[in-house]
Amino acid sequence: MALTIRDIDWQDALPVRHEVLWPDKPVLFSRVDGDESATHYGAFTEEKLVCVASIYRSEDSARLRKFATLPDYQGRGIGSEVLAKAIEQLKQQHIRRFWCDALTTATAFYEKFGLAVEGREFIKSGVSYVRMSVNWPETR
């Protein structure tokens, strides 16, 4: 399976977010404040968008949000490739802190990328999450 990862427009991320994260809500429920200025990655296989990840920057910090892979493509390493590319670019941009609110069931996935749990578990919309982050040394 040939995989291409490239920047996409925020509007292009909505259908995948909707299908994976909130299929019972309207498509625009998947929109996030700040989408217009965030960086959005899309993974394509045979020109089909199968995975999206959005990165929201604030000075020397970046947050991963709305990371979703279509069900038929999960478990194939696609999300790992997208996250690895995003992290590589963030380091080149001298981002010092990278973080996300991770599903508690996904902590092992994020730990593979150096993120560690910080704080306590919390509930959003009936789902259990934990904040995870990594701090990178200054490289300038």
Phi and psi of 88, rounded to 5°?
-55, -45
Query: Residue 93: which of 63, 59, 66, 69 has the closest Cα?
Result: 59
CA dist 35 to 9, 60, 65, 138, Å?
9, 18, 10, 27
pTM of the prediction?
0.92
Domains along the chain? 3-135 (3.40.630.30)
Q: Judge contact between 132 and 99, C-beta under 8 A.
A: yes
Please report, to the nearest 10 degrees, the dihedral formed by the alpha carbons of residues 68, 69, 75, 76 taken in order: -130
Residue 140 has pLDDT above 70, yes or no: no
Q: Each residue of 40-55: pLDDT tens digit?
A: 999 999 999 999 999 9
Residue 139 has pLDDT above 70, yes or no: no
Report which secondary-structure segment, H or E, holds 45.
Answer: strand 39-45
